[in-house]
Chain A
Amino acid sequence: MVETQLETRNRKLETDLRELAQDVVRRAMSGGASAAECVVREGDEFSTVVRLGQVETLKESGSKAIGMRVFYGQRAASTYSSDFSRSGLDRMVKSALELARITSEDPHGGIPEASQLGSIQGDLELYSADVYSLPGEERISYARRAEKAARDYDPRIKNSEGGSFEAATGHKILANSHGFVGEYRRSYCSLAAVPIAQSEDGAKQRDYWFSVARSLSRLESPEHVGKTAAQRALRRLGARKSKTARVPVVLDPMVSNSILEHIFEGVNGDSVYRGASFLAGKLGQKIASDSVNVIDDGTIPGGFGTSPFDGEGVPTRRTIVVENGVLKSYLMNTYSAKKLGFQTTGNASRGLAGTPGIGPGNYFLQPGTKTPQQMISEIKDGLYVTEFLGHGANLVTGDYSRGASGLWISGGELAYPVEEITVAGNLKEMFFNISEIGSDLEFRGAVACPTIRIDGLTVGGE
């Protein structure tokens, strides 16, 4: 009974928010705007952390906010508010119209053409009400079980930052002055454990593991999450520095996706038109080794990067970014596409305020055939990286230098842990030096990459 009532109330709210978004657009247009766009977001979240078997935090809340963008001819401005009262919304619309008078005429400004707008039909499997189906005690017990599995795994797991369980749902509505109105709901839940291992000399190492899904039924078991986290922390014990050397480097999937993200930053239309990317002007050219195929696909049912339309109301799609090492397409929103003379690829991302940015759909590197073990077995002397520290990539020049830790590869096997080392090179060469791609592609977020091997990097240590 209670659930039915809740459902009814939510539907009513949804209709209200949809109408509200359209109403804000109408008010901006009658105030003199030549185009307008309104976004409404509402969401709720639950999270709990259990540490050393006891509940440490419990958090539960919901919120909503509204944002808009208006155009006066080709001058743009945006405003946002968390105040949904009549006066709050009036002030938001009025400020946007005033602000648009001080910005510059930009010949490439504007919202998408009416013909470009739309929404993918059918169930994209983005929402599952089951993320909130666990009773309060069960949620806590999920987090507790994950931490317990980590602590019970080995006596050297002596401390913990805890086990955690989170659930969240979000609802997004977009309306614009071409009459577009679309909405979707997404759900999310995650489970994590962060154990700390300690060796006899007192040195401590922390690591983590997590599982994330749109439905509770697809989460890994708390026991699996805890055990994996413990194994990852334990294998770091006794880490030492390595020598300074140029050796083959294997990146595990938790870190290889950062290399794929650098390709994303490089093909981001916004960086490309500004000449702020070393991949600008490289369309149709070879930018990586033959085996590199990169795809962006915002339409995969259930995906973490899936949505029926992008931040401007353009349907998401599948775009081949790199094919056999050749750069085939940039990833763009409406503005950067106009600047570059292309069509948007449906990659507009949008917060509440500001101009739309560019974000990935489900963005991944196509897997190869070798297992990570096979890749490691082929290396006499090299580095297996399990963690990067810092942000040392320069997309203008391609210069790359990051802190790292992992395991040293000796005679085809993972020999001993290493830490306090650096990995450096240049992305331009690194993409060409991706010599092996593993078979282990798995989505743990919108960006996914299998294990990869890169040759020619400088490892800095002693």
Chain B
Amino acid sequence: MDKNRFFFRRYGLSEHDLEHYLAAALSAGGDFADLYFEYLSSTSLLVDESMVKSASQGISAGCGVRVVAGDRTGYAYTDDLSSERILHAARTAALIASGPAKTPAVGFQEKPARSLYPVMLPSVDAEITAKVELVMRADHAARAYDPRIKEVRASYADELRHILVVGSDGTFAEDSQPLARVNVSCIAKIEGNSARGSAGGGGRVALDFFFGEKTPEYFAKEASRQAILQLDAREAPAGEMEVVLGPGWPGVLLHEAVGHGLEADFNRKQTSAFAGLIGKRVASEKCTVVDNGTMPWRRGSLNVDDEGEPTQNTVLIEKGILKGYLSDKLSARLMGVADTGNGRRESYEHIPMPRMTNTYMLAGEDEPQDIIRSVRRGLYAVNFGGGQVDITNGKFVFSASEAYLIEDGRITAPIKGATLIGNGPDVLTRVSMVGNDLKLDEGVGTCGKDGQAVPVGVGIPTIKIDRLTVGGTARKDVGGFMQ
């Protein structure tokens, strides 16, 4: 135990203190208790109308105490890391249990964990002038792309989250989690018409990522391209049709259609449309879907989850058969399955629960152009806004922000944004082709569940879905799409 020890240094904590707090948490019994210490520093910058209009920095720190008794959870937190306040939180959380005191395990065990984002200088500590340069460059590049680009907003945000998790089962894990992101949104205007475009990306990376790998110009051009393209967009069709999804961010389909429904808490409570389907076919045999928290530098990755468990690469669906759920400690214990390291929380103020990390479908063997060519009339969707799912009846939506008509095997006109809606447990059974071009998203996803937001990643190769409902305004007609 001679690593970073951020909280030991900064707050003078010792292992003895931690054992003392855990003992207080189990003072009324309970099966398990843990403490989650968090120290989060963040920076954000906004350029609008070519001016740096906003710059902000902040720090928030606190500790959350959880006590679990059976399937009951008691939780309390404090933003004051004094011994007195942590003990008070521990005794409050202890109220969930009612029995004789229990004793935490003696001695902490730190499991070996990966180092997926070993940045030398966390971006939050880098020179602010370099960050200003990034957003100003994004602004210039977007405006230079086309004179029709009239409004540009470029933002930069980073954070560094130090965490320490200790549990009465001997868990001891700490991590320093950097996260950075550049975003550009713009509006193209011509007489009588406007359109918007946006793009962004990043990950658990250092600032130099944006000076090398993915520059602000890259995101600015992409946002501008989308806005200009949308100026000519036609009405989207309405009704059921063949849909081809492009690679990358359209993987949000997996996140909504199957990912949430496979989170173990919903299945333990039998509230998910996927409950009881382990071992059953939920997708065509071309589909293999994983949730992988172990990808270097990615936005959805973590060395350890927010319960101190190392993250994993978990197979959810293998060749169409449902293999497993995403679990946290509580679900793993109550369901008698392995903890997949998916226990996450927004902050010390929140109770952890099973969440996704990076969720994607493995590449298949089809050539993307063959997939397009196989469609007589349908939709080719390459960019999406967000999505949403009702995990109980399985219905999910995701909103295309860049899509085209496919007519006689060729991509033709761009269409306006449209919502796509389907049913989680059977949408993947209609996947008839899977491309060889798997791509992960650029690093922009944030997932919300029960009011808690966490960063996630998604990915997918080009795929063809034989039937999906598209929510446009133009009616499908014999012989083509009505304008």
Given A159-B270, A161-B271, A206-B390 in contact, is the A275-B187 Cβ separation under 8 Å?
A: yes
**B23 adjacent to chain A (CB < 8 Å):** no
Contact pick for B60, options A82, A91, A161, CB 8 Å:
A82
Interface residues of A in 377-405 (CB under 8 A from B): 387, 389-392, 394, 396-397, 399, 401-403, 405
CB pair A56–B392 under 8 Å, yes or no, is no
CB pair B422–A353 under 8 Å, yes or no, is no
By a CB distance below 8 angstroms, the chain B residues around A65 are 60, 79
CB pair A78–B55 under 8 Å, yes or no, is yes
CB pair B57–A424 under 8 Å, yes or no, is no
Given A274-B151, A390-B388, A458-B473 in contact, is the A159-B239 Cβ separation under 8 Å?
A: no
Contact pick for A99, options B55, B89, B194, B474, CB 8 Å:
B55
Q: How far is the CA of A205 from the CA of B475 in the complex (A)?
A: 30
Cβ proximity bits A398-441 to B, threshold 8 Å, 1 near / 0 not: 01011101000000000000011111111000000000000000
CB pair A77–B386 under 8 Å, yes or no, is no
CB pair A63–B469 under 8 Å, yes or no, is no
By a CB distance below 8 angstroms, the chain A residues around B61 are 82-83
**B476 adjacent to chain A (CB < 8 Å):** yes
In the complex, the chain B residue whose C-beta lies closest to that of A280 is B194
**B128 adjacent to chain A (CB < 8 Å):** yes
In the complex, the chain B residue whose C-beta lies closest to that of A206 is B392
By a CB distance below 8 angstroms, the chain A residues around B239 are 244, 460-462
CB pair A104–B77 under 8 Å, yes or no, is no
CB pair B75–A57 under 8 Å, yes or no, is yes
CB pair A61–B349 under 8 Å, yes or no, is yes
**A7 adjacent to chain B (CB < 8 Å):** no
Contact pick for A63, options B96, B269, B349, B470, CB 8 Å:
B349
**B288 adjacent to chain A (CB < 8 Å):** no
By a CB distance below 8 angstroms, the chain B residues around A396 are 187, 194-196
**B78 adjacent to chain A (CB < 8 Å):** yes
Q: Which of B105-113, B319-327, B396-404, B434-442 contacts A (4 or more CB under 8 A)?
A: B396-404
Cβ proximity bits A85-106 to B, threshold 8 Å, 1 near / 0 not: 0001001100110011011111
Q: How far is the CA of A205 from the CA of B57 in the complex (A)?
A: 44
Contact pick for B79, options A56, A59, A67, A82, CB 8 Å:
A82
Contact pick for B194, options A136, A275, A419, CB 8 Å:
A275
Given A204-B392, A460-B471 in contact, is the A63-B62 Cβ separation under 8 Å?
A: yes
CB distance from B149 to the nearest CB of A (A): 12
**B100 adjacent to chain A (CB < 8 Å):** no
**B395 adjacent to chain A (CB < 8 Å):** yes
CB pair B194–A80 under 8 Å, yes or no, is no
CB pair B72–A397 under 8 Å, yes or no, is no
A55, A278, A423: most-surrounded residue (chain B CB, <10 A): A55
By a CB distance below 8 angstroms, the chain A residues around B393 are 203-206, 236, 239, 419
**B4 adjacent to chain A (CB < 8 Å):** no
CB distance from A381 to the nearest CB of B (A): 16
Q: How far is the CA of A159 from the CA of B473 in the complex (A)?
A: 38
**A370 adjacent to chain B (CB < 8 Å):** no
By a CB distance below 8 angstroms, the chain A residues around B78 are 61, 63
CB distance from A99 to the nearest CB of B (A): 5
Interface residues of B in 296-347 (CB under 8 A from A): none
By a CB distance below 8 angstroms, the chain B residues around A61 are 75-78, 89, 92, 349
In the complex, the chain B residue whose C-beta lies closest to that of A278 is B194
By a CB distance below 8 angstroms, the chain B residues around A425 are 473
Q: How far is the CA of A64 from the CA of B389 in the complex (A)?
A: 34
CB distance from B157 to the nearest CB of A (A): 11
By a CB distance below 8 angstroms, the chain B residues around A458 are 238, 471-475
**B53 adjacent to chain A (CB < 8 Å):** yes
**B236 adjacent to chain A (CB < 8 Å):** yes
Interface residues of B in 70-115 (CB under 8 A from A): 71-79, 89, 92, 95-96
- Sort chain B's interface into a size bin: 35 or more
By a CB distance below 8 angstroms, the chain B residues around A91 are 59
CB pair A462–B423 under 8 Å, yes or no, is no
**B12 adjacent to chain A (CB < 8 Å):** no
By a CB distance below 8 angstroms, the chain B residues around A249 are none
Q: How far is the CA of A461 from the CA of B153 in the complex (A)?
A: 37
Q: How far is the CA of A63 from the CA of B51 in the complex (A)?
A: 35
B56, B96, B238, B417: most-surrounded residue (chain A CB, <10 A): B56
In the complex, the chain A residue whose C-beta lies closest to that of B387 is A390
By a CB distance below 8 angstroms, the chain B residues around A387 are 390
By a CB distance below 8 angstroms, the chain B residues around A82 are 59-62, 79
Q: How far is the CA of A104 from the CA of B385 in the complex (A)?
A: 31
CB pair B397–A402 under 8 Å, yes or no, is yes
CB pair B58–A79 under 8 Å, yes or no, is yes
In the complex, the chain A residue whose C-beta lies closest to that of B128 is A102
Q: How far is the CA of A23 from the CA of B234 in the complex (A)?
A: 58
Cβ proximity bits A226-238 to B, threshold 8 Å, 1 near / 0 not: 0000000000100
Q: How far is the CA of A424 from the CA of B399 in the complex (A)?
A: 12
Q: How far is the CA of A104 from the CA of B50 in the complex (A)?
A: 9
**B189 adjacent to chain A (CB < 8 Å):** yes
CB distance from A279 to the nearest CB of B (A): 12
**B429 adjacent to chain A (CB < 8 Å):** no
By a CB distance below 8 angstroms, the chain A residues around B417 are 392, 394, 399, 401
By a CB distance below 8 angstroms, the chain B residues around A405 are 395
CB pair B73–A274 under 8 Å, yes or no, is no
By a CB distance below 8 angstroms, the chain A residues around B472 are 401, 422, 424, 458, 460
By a CB distance below 8 angstroms, the chain B residues around A284 are none
By a CB distance below 8 angstroms, the chain B residues around A161 are 269, 271
CB pair B54–A103 under 8 Å, yes or no, is yes
In the complex, the chain B residue whose C-beta lies closest to that of A84 is B80
Contact pick for A78, options B49, B56, B392, CB 8 Å:
B56
Given A64-B79, A83-B61, A420-B421 in contact, is the A389-B471 Cβ separation under 8 Å?
A: no
**A81 adjacent to chain B (CB < 8 Å):** yes
Cβ proximity bits B196-208 to A, threshold 8 Å, 1 near / 0 not: 1000000000000
By a CB distance below 8 angstroms, the chain A residues around B416 are 394, 397, 399
By a CB distance below 8 angstroms, the chain B residues around A63 are 62, 77-79, 349
A residues near B, CB below 8 A?
51, 54-61, 63-65, 67, 76-83, 88, 91-92, 95-96, 99-100, 102-106, 109, 136, 159, 161, 196, 203-206, 236, 239, 241, 244, 246, 274-276, 278, 352-355, 387, 389-392, 394, 396-397, 399, 401-403, 405, 419-426, 458-462
Closest 3 CB pairs of A and B: A422-B471, A403-B397, A390-B397
**30 A-B residue contacts at CB 8 Å?**
A54-B71, A56-B73, A58-B96, A65-B60, A78-B54, A79-B56, A80-B57, A103-B55, A104-B51, A159-B270, A206-B392, A239-B393, A274-B48, A275-B150, A275-B189, A276-B151, A355-B53, A390-B419, A392-B397, A396-B194, A397-B193, A402-B397, A420-B423, A420-B469, A422-B470, A422-B471, A424-B236, A424-B471, A460-B238, A460-B472
For the A-B complex with A274-B187, A390-B399, A396-B187 known, give 12 more contacts whose Cβ atoms are closer than 8 Å.
A80-B56, A82-B79, A99-B57, A244-B475, A275-B189, A396-B196, A402-B419, A422-B418, A422-B470, A424-B418, A460-B238, A460-B470
B residues near A, CB below 8 A?
44, 46, 48-49, 51-62, 71-79, 89, 92, 95-96, 128-129, 132, 150-151, 153, 187, 189, 193-196, 230, 236, 238-240, 269-271, 273, 349, 351, 385-390, 392-393, 395-399, 416-419, 421-423, 469-476
